[in-house]
């Protein structure tokens, strides 16, 4: 995992999340832009400064594969959660990512009109799966609700607003910026291509913990082990189609991937560290 530390100022990330999910007037939008200017824009500028230009899509794929191989080696936090965490500690991590599970993929939609038609279709195929092809029982947020229910955790999104950490809010907020305000949509394509490709390995940790702890509603994780192997291919298709229609800045794909890898890795490590304090 690359080291990208969010720079929160107290609850500014929570505030940004609530603003991102509300109907905006011009004052709200100005506030969102101010909060993002103080946080995400310096992160992206720093990554861009440290990233030598990529020559094209093939190099992007090489870099992505190397990052995934590195992450596949695992982490101390992942090993702990998979092999040692108690049910209470695991439930803490599930609670921490509830706002993600309960709003899953909703913040991807604004990217669609920014893509050429054939790339739209590939991303839409991902989105259709995220929403269970219109079947409530299959939609990923419902799978998360089932997991929350088994662990005795609340079902309402509002119940998690005060328990979610800044690190997790930063990971959630980044997609609102990527889809709606990043000047170039390649940042979003690179970030989502990374995310879909990383989850089949990343979620083996939680799937293992569920199996070990006898949690039966772990399908949220096992479904992702399956479906994201297709989604990673769809995102490669989306990127190819984007390039065919408009040309491609592969460096921006890679900056987007590094940005998301840092934010999600930081959120996961922080969540597990806090869960360990429960012991």
- Where along the sequence are the contacts to Fe ion (CB under 5 A)? 130, 140, 196, 228, 231
Minimum Å distance from CB 234 to Fe ion?
A: 9
Rank residues 96 and 196 by Cβ distance to Fe ion and give the closer one. Answer: 196
Minimum Å distance from CB 219 to Fe ion?
A: 12
Rank residues 32 and 195 by Cβ distance to Fe ion and give the closer one. Answer: 195
CA angle 37, 40, 46 (to 5 degrees): 105
Kindly give the residue spans of alpha helices, DSSP state H, lying in the chain. 12-20, 26-50, 57-72, 76-83, 87-96, 98-102, 117-130, 140-150, 166-180, 186-213, 219-246, 250-277
Smallest Cα–Cα separation from 161: which of 9, 10, 6, 13? 13
Give 221's contacts (C-beta < 8 A, 6+ positions apart).
203, 206, 207, 210
Dist CA 146 CA 149 (whole Å): 5
Minimum Å distance from CB 166 to Fe ion?
A: 23
Minimum Å distance from CB 230 to Fe ion?
A: 8
Minimum Å distance from CB 122 to Fe ion?
A: 12
Rank residues 166 and 196 by Cβ distance to Fe ion and give the closer one. Answer: 196
Rank residues 32 and 257 by Cβ distance to Fe ion and give the closer one. Answer: 257
Rank residues 39 and 221 by Cβ distance to Fe ion and give the closer one. Answer: 221
Smallest Cα–Cα separation from 205: which of 108, 83, 121? 83
């Amino acid at each position: 995992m690359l080291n990208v530390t969010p720079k929160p100022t107290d609850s500014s990330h929570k505030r940004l999340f609530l603003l991102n999910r509300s109907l905006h007037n011009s004052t709200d939008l100005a506030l969102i832009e101010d909060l993002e200017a103080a946080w995400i824009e310096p992160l992206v500028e720093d990554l861009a400064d440290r990233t030598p230009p990529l020559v094209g899509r093939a190099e992007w794929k090489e870099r992505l594969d190397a990052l995934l191989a590195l992450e596949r080696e695992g982490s101390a936090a992942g090993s702990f959660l998979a092999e040692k965490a108690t049910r209470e500690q695991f439930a803490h991590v599930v609670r921490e990512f509830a706002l993600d599970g309960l709003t899953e993929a909703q913040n991807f939609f604004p990217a669609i009109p920014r893509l050429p038609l054939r790339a739209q279709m590939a991303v839409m195929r991902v989105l259709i799966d995220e929403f269970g092809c219109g079947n409530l029982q299959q939609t990923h947020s419902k799978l998360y609700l089932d997991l929350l229910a088994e662990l005795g955790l609340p079902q309402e999104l509002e119940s998690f607003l005060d328990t979610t950490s800044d690190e997790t809010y930063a990971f959630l907020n980044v997609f609102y910026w990527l889809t709606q305000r990043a000047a170039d949509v390649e940042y979003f394509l690179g970030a989502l291509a990374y995310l879909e490709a990383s989850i089949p390995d990343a979620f083996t940790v939680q799937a293992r913990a569920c199996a070990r702890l006898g949690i039966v509603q772990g399908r949220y994780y096992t479904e992702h082990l399956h479906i994201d192997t297709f989604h990673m291919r769809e995102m490669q298709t989306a990127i190819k189609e984007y390039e065919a229609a408009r040309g491609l800045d592969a460096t921006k794909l890679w900056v987007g991937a590094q940005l998301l890898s840092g934010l999600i890795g930081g959120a996961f490590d922080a969540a597990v560290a806090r869960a360990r304090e429960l012991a």
